[in-house]
Chain A
Amino acid sequence: MTGRRRASLMVTCLGDLFFPEVGVSIVRLLRTLDVPVDVPPGQTCCGLPLFNSGYHTEAAAVARRTVSLFADSEHVVVPSGSCAWMIKHEYPGLLSGKGLAREAGELAARTHEFSQFLVKVLGVTELGSTVAGRVTYHDSCHLLRGLHESQSPRTLLGGLRGVELVDLPGADECCGFGGSFAVRLPEVSSQILAKKLANVEGTGASCLVACDAGCLMQMRGGLTRRKSRVRALHLAELLDGDRR
């Protein structure tokens, strides 16, 4: 690690509204690592829901806001692979015709999904927390296939004391969330989810970890509905473990 890093948290809409504890854990973890964190005010959403449904003019307007909100940030840390992917892969294209190509490109380079920031930017693999129990990890689609990341979250989980990390069969298969897909075709979405959760329960894990608020919403929603003893947590929550 060279020099001190500063991070701005982009908490994302789902993180802000539904999973504030994830943001809190991230702030706490980064502080422990001696990384000053700020949260630029007035955050809403990265615009991915608009983009994926084909509302690109609207998505570009939202993207333009993000670019200016984080213009002065050294690193932007995002708790969801899909939102990080949106900024890194779609912002430059969306904003290229709007005279913001350079700014969007710079933001893309400075933006990191949470686990990648820890492992690849900070060079951290162990957080020193203790979490007892069997844990399994679900690869979120955008993090895995969009950002080509499967190792960083597993490295961090493996670095926890007391954790037994077990492979999830079909870990790389979609959980069935897919944004508006989950409510446009709820029956299909639910059947994909049911198969995912059967695999999760088959591992005997007591905790399912993911790095995307969308997948967490879907999988946690399915687990609590079936009164499963498995808890679905964001990676940051588990890493924050005994500090919580």
Chain B
Amino acid sequence: MSDDVLAVPFRQRAGSAMKDAFLQEALTIATTKFIGLRREAFEDFPEGETLRNRARAIKEATLQRLDHHLETLIGNVERLGGHVHYAATSEEARSIIVDIARRTGARMAVKSKSMATEEIHLNEALERAGITPVETDLGEYIIQLAHERPSHIIAPAIHKTKAQVAALFGRELKRPVEADPEVLTRIARGELREKFLQADLGITGANFAVADTGTVVLVTNEGNGRMVTSLPRVHVAVMGVEKVVPSLTDLMVFLAILAKSATGQKLSVYTSLVGGPRRPGELEGPEEFHLVLLDGGRIAQLGGPLREALSCLRCGACLNVCPVYRQIGGHAYGHTYPGPIGILLTAMLEGAPAVKDLAHASTLCGACAEACPVRIDIPRMLIELRREVDDTKIAPWAERVAFKLLARLLRHPGLYRLAARAGRVLQRPFATEGTVSRLPFFFDEWTRTRDLPAVAARTFQERWASEKDLRP
């Protein structure tokens, strides 16, 4: 994300987000709805729990032999007449795609929703090369018009209310637009139909790629994915290397749980299996098909502490249930991938220092791990990241000293008792009837909005030592 955003400290970004009444309304409505839909979907699907375990096992086994599965995939995509490119970095991925666009004389690119292309900042690169990118997923279309970035992995415009979208469309069309989702969708559809026909290049991400068959799989709801992959002369799919699955049988396991976790649907409206360019005798499909395999820090985590995050299906379930995400939304995180999994992915792609503050943007409540279709233990890895931040001394000096002091106190009961006594003395000016309502310095971070219990006149252990009727 832009350096401007990151120039503001995370806590302040979160604070601004919580003051944005529109955002708050939109977030509450959308996340509550997603939570309910997901819960219902799995309640009606008793085999879901077993399939989640199975899906995780497939991911683990695939990551064990990722090189083998990628080789098989590459072989099969090429056999179908497609081209495969390997991009070690975002920069490489951008230049591969811009080169394809230039070579094929493309002037306009239609895109279906893809977090991988957000990750590599593709739109800006295309624009610089004189190619107009057009987002065709409704949510992406909205945020492209608003010159924003997605704030959710599957619902990029989740931060906008329908009234805001109507106002945005009205500004573009220079006429009043009714804040009715159907009307808004019809407008976008009309605008986009033209673009599909004009575009020379179709760009998509990939939810999966099946090694055995060389098939790229797109899970969408609006049908735009099919237009993007079939109308333009050239189709480029961009995919993180970890998204390969061995076989179609494996694919079925993931499809059975992905949409349920994301939107509560049994299946998404469209599941497109794309198999290379148009072959002789076929009526539709692109003349050229390219698959860009993106590393960007993923391969290094195969043996790293964030390995589990490579199993992520990008369903967004962990965002919807996260108490922090639900207050601050996606933009406040400041990176491509928001929410609990986003913190891990940001660390993976940009390194641990990038999440120095974000690693603490979690209550460790575990709702994310519970909602994750492949049961990624996100809280555990957040703690690992905190450890890395402390160990590498990126954490603030004062904080590290405070925790070391705390550790000493907890190892020595004499010091602990002394601290309790000191607390009782120091709290005197601030405590009334066992409650502290205002404290100076750093402690005010608690007392500004909440009372704090005073250190008890006698701690439990003091009472145990002195009260006869308490002892046996």
Contact = CB atoms under 8 A, between A and B. Distances in A.
A182 B446 contact: yes
A145 B363 contact: no
A41 B448 CA distance: 35
Contacts of B437: 225
Nearest to B370: A145
B411 A27 contact: no
Given A50-B403, A184-B360, A141 B365 contact: yes
Interface of B is mostly: helix
A109 interface: no
Nearest to B407: A58
B428 to A, nearest CB: 16
Count class of interface residues, chain A: 35 or more
Interface stretch (A9-17, A127-135, A149-157, A202-210): A9-17
A16 B453 contact: no
A36 B459 contact: no
Interface stretch (B10-18, B61-69, B214-222, B308-316): B10-18
B410 A173 contact: no
A36 B403 CA distance: 36
Given A17-B420, A52-B383, A186-B448, A178 B410 contact: no
Q: Which of A22, A190, A218 has the most CB of B within 10 A?
A: A190
A24 interface: yes
Interface of A is mostly: helix
A118 B300 CA distance: 48
Contacts of A217: 452-453
Given A15-B460, A62-B407, A217-B453, A54 B365 contact: no
A225 B458 CA distance: 24
B386 A52 contact: yes
Q: Which of B367, B410, B423 has the most CB of A within 10 A?
A: B410
Contact of A174 (B18, B365, B456): B365
B459 A221 contact: no
A216 to B, nearest CB: 9
B472 A38 contact: yes
B171 interface: no
Contacts of B463: 20, 23-24
A32 interface: no
28 contacts: A13-B410, A17-B423, A17-B456, A18-B454, A18-B456, A19-B456, A36-B472, A39-B460, A41-B413, A43-B461, A44-B413, A55-B403, A55-B404, A59-B407, A145-B365, A145-B369, A174-B323, A182-B446, A183-B442, A183-B446, A184-B360, A185-B360, A186-B445, A186-B446, A191-B327, A217-B453, A221-B446, A225-B450
Given A55-B404, A59-B407, 17 more contacts: A18-B456, A20-B463, A27-B464, A27-B470, A45-B410, A54-B387, A55-B387, A55-B403, A58-B407, A141-B365, A141-B366, A142-B366, A179-B364, A183-B446, A187-B15, A221-B452, A224-B451
Interface of B: 11, 14-15, 18, 323-324, 326-328, 360-367, 369-370, 383-391, 395, 403-404, 406-407, 409-411, 413, 416, 420, 423, 435, 437, 442-443, 445-446, 448-456, 458-461, 463-465, 470, 472
